[in-house]
Amino acid sequence: MVERRLTSHTAPPLVRLALLGCGTVGEGVVRLLRRNAEMFQRKLGASIELAGVADRSLKPDPSLGLESRLITRDAASLVARPDIDIVVELFGGLEPARSLMLKALESGKDVVTANKALLAQKGDEIFRTAARYGRSVGFEASVGGGVPIMRTLREALAGDRQRAVYGIINGTCNTILSLMTDAGAEFAEALHQAQQSGLAEADPTLDIEGHDAAHKLCLLVALAFGVLLKPTKVYTEGISRVTLADINFARQLGYSIKLLAIAKDDGSAIEARVHPTMIPQRHPLAGVAGAFNAIYVQSEALGPTMYYGQGAGQLPTATAVLADVLEIARHRCAGSNTSAPALGYPATVVKPGRVKPMDDVLSEYYLRFMARDQPGVLGAIASVLGRNRISIASVIQQGRGLTGTVPVIMRTHEAAERDLKRALSSIGKLKMVEPSPTLIRIEEQL
């Protein structure tokens, strides 16, 4: 509970935080709480106090104000303490994070978290529990690090209907693609460099295969369209098969390759997909380099808006956590919770949405076939595409290769995935074309 100090009539009330997990972001939260304590007090008329930290391996660090009396290994007891107002969950992962968050909400505490994996998979349970107990779940830090896209979708764009969301929301992938594009590195080399500089994990699978972006896209979809989507419903393709050759062909065609998380709402179904995407070099998203994130939103009345900033890192992510803490603290000090529902709509109104099957999705495509350098190849490929209602917008055919195969690059007009898959399967049976051509989707009209 928010406590009015008894020692003095003029002392401000206290809002007490419990921190679950004190890794990179947790330490950032501790730092900012100290550094900006006086500012928070002026803004709130209340002090925010770190009342306890649960962490398996944290050692006391008095220079950060992490006295040993604050540190515990027993997260459940910390969450159960009646003097705690807000639980900041930074453990990540499904358990024990889920159980601890539910316990916190059930005992009247508010929760702030950066846990996109948990919210994408168990968000319905958590948001409904929060609504039942009249508590808040702040999760600004879960998408885009310090980029305030969650509250923007929930509140700033609340008067409008969102049509589409395009996000560069995985800093590891964007760093790798930037290194490939700017330094001419192949994927493996760029990944290695990103790992050396701490911008990619030792096991980078979750990032480079697009799963992290898919989790985040579920939260973007929830806020943009009021629909809860499971990550398994998101078509997900990572960047590990993007080659330097494709990046260079993209450049020739006027495109940059980005790992985009894309969601669209055509009014009857939701499209949700994460994959390497060619976008026009002049588009604002194309200039988003390195570990930066950006979310480009197309709204019905407002048109396009873009939100850009550091998508990860200790202090940027901690600022997002603290924005949520301050908002909740304000409501607690006022003794009432009139914050917007976590997903913009009351939890009872948010429903699972119909997801458009990937087969029905329309896109333009970049296709790279490796073909024998002999007459008739182009015609053979083109006629299979034509039979499948796919029309070709442009072709790049390169000179003679040393290995006997040459790349044939085609850019198509808009076509359905179903038709394209059927065409590629037929082309794969042609003797003169190597199997498994490269396919990269193009977003021309974003």
Give the Cα separation of 444 and 320 in Å (integer). Answer: 32
Instruction: Indicate the residue among 335 and 379 with the shorter CB distance to a second copy.
Output: 335
State the nearest-atom distance from the C-beta of 79 to a second copy, in Å. Answer: 22
State the nearest-atom distance from the C-beta of 281 to a second copy, in Å. Answer: 11
Q: Are 138 and 325 in contact (CB under 8 A)?
A: yes
Q: What contacts 291, CB < 8 A, 6 or more positions away?
A: 171, 172, 174, 175, 199, 310, 311, 312, 313
Q: Please, which residues bridge with residue 352 across strands?
A: 228
State the nearest-atom distance from the C-beta of 320 to a second copy, in Å. Answer: 8
Instruction: Indicate the residue among 121 and 293 with the shorter CB distance to a second copy.
Output: 293
State the nearest-atom distance from the C-beta of 159 to a second copy, in Å. Answer: 3
Q: Are 111 and 329 in contact (CB under 8 A)?
A: no
Instruction: Indicate the residue among 314 and 405 with the shorter CB distance to a second copy.
Output: 314
- Number of other CB atoms surrounding residue 252 within 10 Å: 9
> Which residues contribute to the site for a second copy (CB under 8 A)?
28, 32, 35-36, 39-40, 42-43, 45, 140, 146-148, 151-152, 155-161, 226, 282, 284, 287, 299, 301-310, 315-316, 318-323, 325-327, 330-331, 334, 336-341, 344-346, 349
Residue among 382, 389, 399 at smallest CA distance from 419: 389
Give the catalytic positions in this structure.
216
Instruction: Indicate the residue among 245 and 302 with the shorter CB distance to a second copy.
Output: 302
Tokens of 369: 């076939």
- Concatenate the DSSP letters of all residues of 128-173 into one string: HHHHHTT--EE-GGGSSTTS-HHHIIIIITTTS-EEEEEEE--HHH
Instruction: Indicate the residue among 94 and 158 with the shorter CB distance to a second copy.
Output: 158
- Number of other CB atoms surrounding residue 9 within 10 Å: 7
Residue among 114, 441, 392, 413 at smallest CA distance from 271: 441
State the nearest-atom distance from the C-beta of 397 to a second copy, in Å. Answer: 33
Output the CA torsion 21→233→246→310 (10° steps): -30
Instruction: Indicate the residue among 296 and 365 with the shorter CB distance to a second copy.
Output: 296
State the nearest-atom distance from the C-beta of 436 to a second copy, in Å. Answer: 37
Chain mean position to CA 276: 14
